[in-house]
Amino acid sequence: MRFFLLNFLLFIKLFAIVDNAPVDFKEREEGFSGSLFGAYELKRGNTDKNELDFGGRIQYDTDETITWVQGEMEKDKVRSVDTDDNAFFHLRHLRLLHSSWAGELFTQYKTDKFKNLSDRVLLGAGLRYKLLDSGNYNKIFIGFGLYDEEVRYTEDTDTGVKNPDENNIRINSYLSYKTKINDNVELSLLSYLQPRLEDTADCMAAATAELIIHLTKVFDLSYKIEYDYDTRPPTDVKKEDIDQRLSFIYRFGKDDPFTSYAHTFLKSTSSLDDVNTSSIIAVEIETDIEDIKDFRDVFAGKWSFGKEVFHIDFNGTGIYTYDKSIYTQKLTWKIISTATQDGEQRAKEQSTKLIIISFEDEEGRLERVDNYLWSENTLIGLSGATIRLFKRF
């Protein structure tokens, strides 16, 4: 049993990949979602090895459109010899035309050193038809279209032979199937057939099967097997390719913790005309602190983010500490109106306020001024290279 498991793990490469299951309209809430991965392995000593794999997918859904961009790169070396060197980028846009029909536009870029492929760029369009839809449990799609393909090759490292570059128009036809076995397990199948329009004997085909197990709301376990076939590959390149991968996928969207929080916070700022750093700074108008004392009272307290802690007093002052008071600064704070046309009353009623905090050294000299957005028990730092989320405690 142990021997079988060891061979199984050697046979299947374990790393994060981008999901490619068929998509449908209104499967997700309107907005952005996607998945990310990254893996790096470095070995020195008896084994001299470098492996780098990274990429991701971002998708935007509305009721009538789906747009996604997907990419990945793999670059591996063993004893200073390349064993993998490829990259892939795909952009696709779907628009609902009828209850079962959709139009699609797509473009793609690919490079693969071990297939003597310098780059392959394509641009295409087509139609997709939903052949079967029985809810979440069975969906079948068929697609048909054309794409223009430009291919440039590199010299073969062994023979020195370079295939002539190509410019083709290919038929793009595919069949995709998706089923939900239960609430935590999904299966998807996708197959392509892409003959050249002028010579259908020159044909490319691909088939992919993927089993996804939802471990949590944001983490999935995926097993995927891919099969590629090219009737006329470059010189000294095999016609067939098979790839099996067992992987973990991290998904982001309205279900993951960070995006859920950001979505809730942005909804709370709906009363603001423009909520971003540049617009707030551009329209800042100071109001009389006495007129909005109720906001000041609620804002006072203790806020923390990692090693950073604010001790905010009621009188517009406070203390900033870093790493358990190893570094300490005095501070003063004030509330700023973000509305210039609606007047001060609108500023009082807004659930989200702009806070300007000035930091001083021990001798009272100004060191820096930072901007923060505050809503109830959340304080967001807008200054600097990263957004910091402070919580009250």
Instruction: Tell me how crowded residue 126 is: count the other CB atoms within 10 A of its CB.
Output: 18
List CB contacts of 257: < 8 A, sequence separation 6 or more.
Answer: 218
Distance, CA of 288 to CA of 295 (rounded, Å): 12
Residues 204 and 314 in one domain: no
The pLDDT value recorded for residue 208 is 93
The SS3 of residue 239 is: coil
Residues 193 and 119 in one domain: yes
Q: Pick from 236, 258, 280: which residue ends a domain? A: 258
The pLDDT value recorded for residue 324 is 66
Residues 226 and 299 in one domain: no
Q: Which two tokens stand for residue 301?
A: 């307290």
CA atoms within 13 A on the CB side of 86: 11
The pLDDT value recorded for residue 255 is 55
Pairing mode of beta strands 240-252, 13-14: parallel
Residues 141 and 250 in one domain: yes
Q: What CATH number should be reported for the domain holding residue 122?
A: 2.40.160.40
Instruction: Tell me how crowded residue 380 is: count the other CB atoms within 10 A of its CB.
Output: 18
In a domain, 265, yes or no: no
In a domain, 263, yes or no: no
Q: Which two tokens stand for residue 360?
A: 């001083």
The C-alpha torsion from 345 through 348 and 352 to 357, rounded to 10°, is: 120
Residues 58 and 187 in one domain: yes
Question: Total domain count for the chain?
Answer: 2
In a domain, 3, yes or no: no
Computed on alpha carbons and rounded to an integer, the radius of gyration of the chain in Å comes to: 28
Residues 274 and 355 in one domain: yes
- Given a contact cutoff of 8 angstroms between Cβ atoms, the answer to whether 192 and 128 are in contact is no
CA atoms within 13 A on the CB side of 344: 9
List CB contacts of 41: < 8 A, sequence separation 6 or more.
Answer: 49, 50, 51
In a domain, 8, yes or no: no
In a domain, 63, yes or no: yes
How many residues appear in the chain?
393
Burial of 94 (0-12, 13-18, 19+ CB in 10 A): buried
Question: Quick one: which of 54, 20, 51 has its CA closest to 37?
Answer: 54
Distances (CA, A) of 86 to 37, 101, 113, 140, 235: 16, 34, 6, 31, 18
Residues 204 and 280 in one domain: no
Residues 67 and 172 in one domain: yes
Q: Pick from 229, 258, 287: which residue ends a domain? A: 258
In a domain, 56, yes or no: yes
Q: Which two tokens stand for residue 227?
A: 């099969």
Q: Give percent helix, percent strand, percent coil of the chain, each to the nearest 5.
A: 15, 55, 30
Residues 43 and 125 in one domain: yes
Residues 195 and 296 in one domain: no
In a domain, 41, yes or no: yes
Q: Which two tokens stand for residue 306?
A: 């990692």
Give per-residue burial for 234-266: e unless 16+ CB within 10 Å, then b: beebeeebeeebbbebbbbbbebeebeeeeebe
- Tens digit of pLDDT per residue, the chain (393 long)? 443 333 333 333 333 333 446 788 888 878 888 887 766 666 676 667 777 777 788 999 998 999 999 998 888 877 777 777 889 999 999 999 998 999 999 999 999 888 888 999 999 999 999 999 887 678 999 999 999 999 999 887 677 778 889 999 999 999 999 998 888 889 999 999 999 999 999 999 999 999 988 887 778 888 889 999 999 998 888 999 988 877 777 777 655 555 554 445 444 444 433 333 332 222 232 333 344 444 445 677 888 888 888 888 877 788 888 876 667 777 777 776 444 344 444 445 556 677 888 888 777 778 778 888 887 778 888 766 566 788 887
Q: Which residues are 172's β-sheet partners? A: 145
The pLDDT value recorded for residue 246 is 75
Residues 242 and 323 in one domain: no
Question: Quick one: which of 196, 62, 51 has its CA closest to 122?
Answer: 196
Q: Pick from 197, 231, 258: which residue ends a domain? A: 258
Residues 215 and 293 in one domain: no
Q: Domain residues for 60?
A: 15-258
List CB contacts of 329: < 8 A, sequence separation 6 or more.
Answer: 319, 320, 321, 359, 360, 361, 367
In a domain, 320, yes or no: yes
Distance, CA of 25 to CA of 17 (rounded, Å): 23
List CB contacts of 16: < 8 A, sequence separation 6 or more.
Answer: 36, 37, 38, 39, 53, 247, 248, 249, 250
Q: Which two tokens stand for residue 204?
A: 């490319």
